[in-house]
Structure 1
Amino acid sequence: MRMNRGQLSLIGLLLCCWSSVKAQDQYELNTGWQCANISRVTEKGETISDPAHALTGWQPATVPGTVLTTMLNNKQVPDPFYGMNNEKIPDIYNTGNDYYTYWFVKDFTEQPAAADQQVWLHFRGVNYSCDIYLNGKKVNAATHHGMFLRQTYNITRLLAKNGHNRLAVIIYPAPLAGNPNGGQGGDGIIAKSVAHQYTAGWDWIQPIRDRNTGIWDKVTIEHTGAVDVKHPHVVTKVPGIRLPEGPQAPAIVQVSAELENASDKSVTGAVQYAINGTTVSKKVTLAPHATTQVQLPDYTLQHPKLWWPNGYGPQALYNLQLQFVNAAGKVSDKETVEVGVREIQTSWNAHTGSREVAVNGQKIFIKGGNWIISDAMLRFSKERYDAEIRYHRDMNLNLIRIWGGALTERPEFYEACDKYGMLVFQDFWFSGDCNGRWVDPMKKEDQWTRRKYPDDHGLVLSSLTDQIKMIRNYPSLALWCGGNEITPPEDILTAVKDSILPLLDGTRYFFDYSNSDSMSHNTLGGNGDGPYGVQPLATFWEHRTFPFNSEIGSVGVGDYASLERFIPKENMVAPEYPGNKVDSVWYYHKYIGYDGFIDPYGKAKDAKDFANKAQLVNYDQYRGLMEGFSAHMWDWYTGVIIWKTQNPWTAMRGQMYDYYLDPNACLYGLHNGSEPLHIMYNPIDGMVQVANNTFTPRRDLMLQIFAYDMKGSVDTLTQVFADIGPTITKRYLSVKRGLDKLRKDKGIFLRLRLLDVHQQPVSENFYWLPDEKGNYSGLQEMAQAAAQVTAKRITKDSVAVTISNPANGPVAFFNRVALVDMQTKKRILPAFYSDNYISVMPGEQKTITISYTAGNETTGIELYGWNVKEGYYAIK
């Protein structure tokens, strides 16, 4: 950029003070809150917020948190996630809103501001309405409404002279909670408010009794000078087609921000940012009590380190520091943005009839998972977000879709997605179920009426504007979407497409709704999204669905250790098939039938046997799902998004790990089937194929195919050299005829390997194939394997577990490794396994590494398998 001499002098002065800048002065009010139901409070907010007023009989409150969370923590209600306890908690539809209307009070120390210093109060999320008082004064002129709309107040003049302050907030539930009558979103009335819809119940959750009323997100105090830096916006342009490796051409960084001058006089200074050791600045003069949008000069970043989705390259992040410095060289305010240099493009693939996503000029085959919310009662934490997104990384996925019946996720969620390379497909807060797409006898109002929900469209637009500003800087955020299976009302949709997004973002593609024609045509031979239940493996290979399927999924019951956490002993009864007889607690927790898929392994003897055999089905289902889609990438499909990968409640369907963050076999089947370079077997025609979801061609591979019988004897079916180009799937040869003969009586194991030029495996896959009648008769007769287990500590937070299987015996089949507390034998959660549910060939060994956060417990290893005796092993 070109500057005059005066500007250069000012910039020089500002640069001198850059190194002395401290972090933004901000802290969270997250402890020491008290609360009381409005039935116990007769005083007004002005009195309650007086620090001298005694709070007699008030109880501890959880903030951030909901009313129900506070009641649970105070032992006033049982854990609604266990058994049928949720039925013991009064529902707001029956009690009326006053039952869950609460006052929340927080005493805090904050000295009066000096000179031109300003003090700000921020609420990042309140559900649903609130009035705020501080030191006997009303803070918000009018009652706040809306779950998603953030609030900021300048409280400089309201602070107590002695530094002892009291904040009092009355929280009102949404005016119409809706009847939780068993419909999706209950009777639909919950959608009349600008809030999430699942709290009235869905097919994967029971109703949340207070509809998540409360101060559910962070409350913070911020200090600034006269000028507050607000809503920074960073856009990166990466022209051309890039590769993760090698020299990089320049990228363009564009930065803007809002500057609010809270003082009574005009302020002159400079807004500036530093990135990669370089400072970019712009001189501005701000009018008193005015907010000004400032666009800084574009910056050309030489040799950029690029951000890539998981599996395609590293996730480089730059620390960008944006601040306003006044003419005296004093920093007034500062914001920090983690910047991922990347550009996301989309195009229409005419061959598949679907949207295609590219990052930095390279097309990406989307392997995604649908995400509801981290915790149904909004008990969020940075650590839980990190663990959940890490699991998605470990599944070898590259995208998470945030479903429209929930919310705009918290910044900590996107931080984890940035870290682990997960693209994000963000729905807005509408659903076909509540917002009128279908005729639904469970709904109170007709489709035409529901089509106009929510009631306050102005509040929707304000909330959308605010939430877009909150998350638009995250490189992981890739796509916007109007809603789940339906668009917002026409006036909202038009405003979002024509005004709000072009003004506030404009860099990401917008889908009108989650399965719209702009995403995926229902092409010839297509049958829409889904299926949603357990399927024959052949279905995933031969049944053609939407070419960019936004929802397809299957079963997901956890193992016995998982079930024990929320099902009482008396309800540990295996579902019966045929007849679909299901225990009441299983049914309440949304069990989805495994139909006849357990029986081929032998009828389940009890709940533990059922859960163990369910893991075999789980693994096969999700490996088969991803393999079937990968086999047809760029021909039938440009992507797939699994419904769904996690549960925010103790449900029993569609989950790769349970609510307690314990993974099941779904995760590892998906981990296998989604690996970037993957060898696989087509169960229909017996074709061995390789999917290469990387940008690197491979011409140094050896393809090996083996068959093992139930006694461990091995046949080498073939061994040939193979090569494959980037981002394609290639068919090699069929082994159907030979396998059909070998598997006829007892079934057979099929082992596929890809070796590199150093004869090291780069992909390995292991299938168990049934006999000619479709039963796993051989598995039911397998001899026990004499597997040996050793565990060695690598670091304080990691362990290596090696399973050795002696020669001249059977395969050590389907072994589950778990990190446990040796005193209680309970699993340590979360823990991250390099692989699991593994099989070890005779005469071989395999090692699994486990990462976790070490505590004071005595750790050990639990291991059990199909034909390996359960045991516990000390860590050396």
Structure 2
Amino acid sequence: MNRFTIGRLIGLLVLVSYWANAQTTYELTAGWRCNPIGKTTGAGTAISTPTYALNGWQPAVVPGTVLTTMLANRQVPDPFYGMNNEAIPDIYRTGRDYYTYWFVNEFTEAPKTGQQVWLNFRGINYSCDVFLNGHKLNTKRFTGMFLRQSYNITPFLQKDGKNRLAVIVYPPDPVGNPNGGQGGDGTIARNVAHQYVAGWDWIQPMRDRNTGIWDKVTIEKTGAVNVRNPHVVTRVPGQRTPTGTQSPATIRPSAELENATGAMQTGTLRYTMNGQTVTKNVSLAPHTTTTVDLPALTLANPRLWWPNGYGEQYLYPASMQFVTGSQTVSDEEKLAVGVREMQTEWNSTTRSRQVSVNGQKVFIKGANWIVSDAMLRLSPERYNAEIRFHRDMNLNLMRVWGGALLERPEFYEACDRYGLLVMQDFWGSGDCNGRWVDPAKKDDQWTRRQYPDDHALFLTSAADQIKMIRNHASLAMWCGGNEITLPQDIMTPLRDSILPKLDGTRWFIDYSNSDEMSFNFLGGNGDGPYGIQPINRFWAYRTWPFNSEVGSVGVNDYASLERFMPDANRVAPVYVPGGKSVVDSVWQYHKYIGYDASIDPYGKATDIRDFTKKAQLVNYDQYRALMEGFSSHMWDWYTGTIIWKTQNPWTAMRGQMYDYYLDPNAGLYGLHHGSEPLHIMYNPVDSMVMVANNTFQYHRDMMMVIKVYDMAGRDTTLTQVFSEIGPTLVRPYVPINRAIRNLTRANGAFLNLQLLDLNRKPISDNLYWLPDSTGTHSGLQQLAKAPVRLSARQVAAGKVEVTLTNPAGGPVAFFNRLSLVDATTKKRLLPVFYSDNYVSVPPGQQKTITLDYTPGQVMPLVSLEGWNVPEQFAPVGQ
């Protein structure tokens, strides 16, 4: 993947750490080696001694899975390319030993007087035994993908500081049969683990089921007392606004203190934030862990944290320390605290829940998130890029789907930074866990209804993971599971005991499409529809009032297909009305979802490049209409919607706004416009021009301009009028039915809607391409070329300003894709963040777009290609 360091962007991230400070904690990433169990002799006590020879052991990727290690060592082909995944042995057929591996690492750490050293694992899938310097650290096999482990290794460190760690990792049991069902035969759900690894309708199976040390391994050094699981609760009473003087907020901190020694320890627990400190003197009995509540801290005139689009996402640096009587810091945990309070209430008009932040109701514009990478190649850089894309879509919520992970702290750090609320599912799905009769499943519904096998492990894991992420401002809701409740003996203690005790500040919904969230007055499963929809349907069809899953298509352009599809398979699908469409086998393997007849109004695709180009028009239109249609009925029909889905963790061809390689498609920018905080839009059902205000501000003195361009570029102003709109409202303004019918009848037309401020600067600028009276875009098919001028200049390191100028006297320069490319290869640099893309420029106007990227040694080029604009390149001037 080119240019994926994102160093400049992540520089901001590393200023704030959610782990202990860098002086006391370091990660074990380099130097790992591994070997399959079948080629390994000797017990762990022997393997973990320096005298045990590692001849023939291979380099290992940690954090990572067995498959990521095999891929790095070129033992398997890239499973995300073409049909390569079919060439990799599946664990269901090989047996579990094939993917059972030993992992070894050597690190330098000598024991020091008064110091405790801890070995921490943040995630191993699925079970393991751990050895250090000839000693077994765990008394019984450790089990659970979502359960942290921590060992005090102080007594086992070598005096010369040379230590060997050995871990044997066993796959899930059972591994599940990847028979094509959702989650395969369903038995993968007998484990407390992710379910998609046995295959789903948007992904092929992960052949090792992601067995491995998949998350961080760290060494942490403390004094006698270790500060664990700090907890910071913020209370923001009343109804607040993002600006102006704030009434005080209350901060309630607490932490677990572990005395690792055999002696009584006394000292002070100290929490510091915004220059204020609260403390409590503590005495700790030997070998005990105690939860300590500190006095409340009152924060005067706080800077509050708000969701994306409503205000800033301010994060206070804070620290939790245990200080001994001699004023020595035994341990410190650093945090970033967003001061906000979540509320929820029932909206009796919509018959659904509505979400409030700091006393203000927020219309939810959400995304369903699977996982960043299906093989768990997770990184802060990738999380940052993906969540930034969602911020740029003007969304405000991420739902973490229940068949995947309870997401990592780095995911939440990105959501904190960009203002994305999070609805976090626990581990379960209606598909695997018995909601429906399913012939693909091995067990009947009654048996699957009691998955997983170990309910106590589920509850222990849930408690641990709650502690891991509960401090994040972005975490807004807990959800029991995807489309089904958890077994009652899991649900009841989780809802009534564990969450109130360990959190108690967030809404818990029992499952994703529950009547508690959204009254399902239409029957059925309570979510969808999925796939391509007539544009009018998003506006006119009333679906579930807080829809947890509704979505559409997502094929990227030709440059994306080149990255994962052999040339011979880059063949455009052929739609057959009333019959079975012709689709290439690799497209089907990568879960293509049909565009049906939606390409044809632009002219039948002549080849694959033409198909993917026209697919971008459909992507933009579909996702803009989706969010506009829901927004047009906010607080009347709906309190929110969550798109299924906005990203893919592998090279799938459906439900995505950018591809696996982080290259955006036009759907991202359709959402960027359709979801903007203050938005002017056209209702195609009743031809009404409307404005949606998803802010807490009253907007006055806005000039509304409604203009139509014909295919030659001649414009007709239908009206312009000053308007205003109150906070969190949607309003109809002007019907334009007759005018639109007349102006589009022959060849279609462009409808340009603008909101201008008093300086005549656009607040919202929205361009629709409307078909002719037959529903065909006949005018677009004959649109003359537009002589657009392209210029680019560097305005800062890693920031380029691009200007598109369309001279007067010609047609609209329609649907222009900008890319930042390597000057030599002309290949796109990824990721790049565009302030807008797939832009159209009316005649006599210009548009300026900014591009953010990670700079290299050679200045890139800017490329431009549009519907009626030939490809051109421009150097980046200084």
- Could you say whether these structures have the same fold, taking a TM-score greater than 0.5 normalized by the shorter chain as the test? yes
Please say if residues 813 and 868 of structure 1, whose CA atoms lie closer than 8 Å, have aligned partners that are also in contact: yes
Please say if residues 522 and 544 of structure 2, whose CA atoms lie closer than 8 Å, have aligned partners that are also in contact: no
User: Which of 437, 440, 453 matches 1:439?
Assistant: 437
Aligned partner of 2:599 in structure 1 is 598
Aligned partner of 1:268 in structure 2 is 266
Q: CA deviation at 1:23?
A: 5.4
Q: CA deviation at 1:721?
A: 1.3
SS in 1 for 2:730: strand
Aligned partner of 1:4 in structure 2 is none
Q: CA deviation at 1:865?
A: 0.3
Q: CA deviation at 1:612?
A: 0.2
SS in 1 for 2:251: strand
- Per-residue CA distance 1:749-789 (angstroms, 9 max, x = gap): 10001111222111110000001110000000111111110
Aligned partner of 1:720 in structure 2 is 721
Please say if residues 24 and 335 of structure 1, whose CA atoms lie closer than 8 Å, have aligned partners that are also in contact: no
Aligned partner of 1:96 in structure 2 is 95
Please say if residues 251 and 296 of structure 2, whose CA atoms lie closer than 8 Å, have aligned partners that are also in contact: yes
SS in 2 for 1:549: strand
2:428 is the alignment partner of 1:430: yes
Aligned partner of 1:484 in structure 2 is 482
Higher relative contact order, chain-length normalized (CA < 8 Å, sep 6+): 2
SS in 1 for 2:563: coil
Q: CA deviation at 1:483?
A: 0.1
Aligned partner of 1:165 in structure 2 is 163
- Per-residue CA distance 1:440-468 (angstroms, 9 max, x = gap): 00000000000000000010011000000
2:43 is the alignment partner of 1:44: yes
Please say if residues 402 and 427 of structure 2, whose CA atoms lie closer than 8 Å, have aligned partners that are also in contact: yes
Question: In 2, distance between residues paired with 1:313 and 1:859?
Answer: 34
SS in 1 for 2:740: helix
- Per-residue CA distance 1:620-643 (angstroms, 9 max, x = gap): 000000000000000000000000
SS in 1 for 2:516: coil
> AA paired with 1:771?
D
Please say if residues 36 and 58 of structure 1, whose CA atoms lie closer than 8 Å, have aligned partners that are also in contact: yes
Aligned partner of 2:661 in structure 1 is 660
> AA paired with 1:302?
A
Question: In 2, distance between residues paired with 1:855 and 1:392?
Answer: 25
Aligned partner of 1:502 in structure 2 is 500
Aligned partner of 2:648 in structure 1 is 647
Question: In 1, distance between residues paired with 2:757 and 2:58?
Answer: 64
Please say if residues 312 and 695 of structure 1, whose CA atoms lie closer than 8 Å, have aligned partners that are also in contact: yes
Q: Percent identity?
A: 67
Aligned partner of 2:695 in structure 1 is 694
- Per-residue CA distance 1:638-682 (angstroms, 9 max, x = gap): 000000010000000000000000000000000000000000000
SS in 1 for 2:564: coil
Please say if residues 169 and 211 of structure 2, whose CA atoms lie closer than 8 Å, have aligned partners that are also in contact: yes
Q: CA deviation at 1:351?
A: 0.5
Q: What does residue range 62-461 of structure 1 map to in structure 2 within 5 Å?
A: 62-114=61-113, 116-461=114-459
Q: CA deviation at 1:858?
A: 3.6
Question: In 2, distance between residues paired with 1:468 and 1:527?
Answer: 28
Aligned partner of 1:554 in structure 2 is 552
SS in 2 for 1:231: strand
> AA paired with 2:517?
M
Question: In 1, distance between residues paired with 2:337 and 2:241?
Answer: 19
> AA paired with 1:603?
K
Aligned partner of 2:800 in structure 1 is 799
Please say if residues 527 and 546 of structure 1, whose CA atoms lie closer than 8 Å, have aligned partners that are also in contact: no
Question: In 1, distance between residues paired with 2:503 and 2:760?
Answer: 49
Aligned partner of 1:523 in structure 2 is 521
TM-score computed with the length of structure 1 as normaliser: 0.97
Question: In 2, distance between residues paired with 1:267 and 1:612?
Answer: 68
Over 3 Å counting, the alpha-carbon distance change for 1:266 and 1:365 in structure 2 is same
TM-score computed with the length of structure 2 as normaliser: 0.97
- Per-residue CA distance 1:386-431 (angstroms, 9 max, x = gap): 0000000000000000000001111000000000000000000100
SS in 1 for 2:189: helix
SS in 2 for 1:234: strand
- Per-residue CA distance 1:113-139 (angstroms, 9 max, x = gap): 32x210000000000010000001101
- Per-residue CA distance 1:293-327 (angstroms, 9 max, x = gap): 10000111111000000000000111111000011
2:874 is the alignment partner of 1:869: no
Q: CA deviation at 1:357?
A: 0.2
Q: CA deviation at 1:527?
A: 8.8
> AA paired with 2:737?
K
Q: CA deviation at 1:857?
A: 3.8
Q: CA deviation at 1:799?
A: 0.4
Structure 2: runs of 5+ lacking an equivalent: 1-19
Q: CA deviation at 1:856?
A: 2.4
Question: In 1, distance between residues paired with 2:703 and 2:196?
Answer: 50
Please say if residues 45 and 168 of structure 1, whose CA atoms lie closer than 8 Å, have aligned partners that are also in contact: yes
2:52 is the alignment partner of 1:53: yes
SS in 1 for 2:438: coil
Q: CA deviation at 1:587?
A: 0.5
The number of equivalent residue pairs is 855
Please say if residues 248 and 298 of structure 2, whose CA atoms lie closer than 8 Å, have aligned partners that are also in contact: yes
Q: CA deviation at 1:480?
A: 0.1
Aligned partner of 2:842 in structure 1 is 841
SS in 1 for 2:386: helix
Question: In 1, distance between residues paired with 2:671 and 2:50?
Answer: 56
SS in 2 for 1:564: helix
Question: In 2, distance between residues paired with 1:175 and 1:628?
Answer: 45
Q: What does residue range 719-798 of structure 1 map to in structure 2 within 5 Å?
A: 719-798=720-799
Q: CA deviation at 1:42?
A: 1.0
Structure 1: runs of 5+ lacking an equivalent: 1-20
Please say if residues 21 and 334 of structure 2, whose CA atoms lie closer than 8 Å, have aligned partners that are also in contact: no
> AA paired with 2:180?
G
Please identify runs of 4+ aligned residues in structure 1 that moved more than 6 A: 524-527
> AA paired with 1:118?
Q
Aligned partner of 1:5 in structure 2 is none
User: Which of 505, 509, 512 matches 1:511?
Assistant: 509
- Per-residue CA distance 1:337-390 (angstroms, 9 max, x = gap): 110000000000011000000000000000000000000000000010000000
Question: In 2, distance between residues paired with 1:281 and 1:347?
Answer: 36
Aligned partner of 2:706 in structure 1 is 705
Please say if residues 522 and 543 of structure 2, whose CA atoms lie closer than 8 Å, have aligned partners that are also in contact: no
Question: In 2, distance between residues paired with 1:470 and 1:32?
Answer: 27
Aligned partner of 1:540 in structure 2 is 538
Q: CA deviation at 1:528?
A: 3.5
SS in 2 for 1:140: coil
Q: CA RMSD in A?
A: 1.0
Q: CA deviation at 1:22?
A: 7.3
SS in 2 for 1:142: coil
Question: In 2, distance between residues paired with 1:507 and 1:303?
Answer: 22
- Per-residue CA distance 1:68-91 (angstroms, 9 max, x = gap): 000000000000000000000000
Q: CA deviation at 1:505?
A: 0.4
- Per-residue CA distance 1:553-576 (angstroms, 9 max, x = gap): 000000111111111100010000
- Per-residue CA distance 1:224-252 (angstroms, 9 max, x = gap): 00000001000000000000000000000
- Per-residue CA distance 1:196-246 (angstroms, 9 max, x = gap): 000000000000000000000000000000000001000000000000000
Question: In 1, distance between residues paired with 2:526 and 2:540?
Answer: 14
Please say if residues 256 and 290 of structure 2, whose CA atoms lie closer than 8 Å, have aligned partners that are also in contact: yes
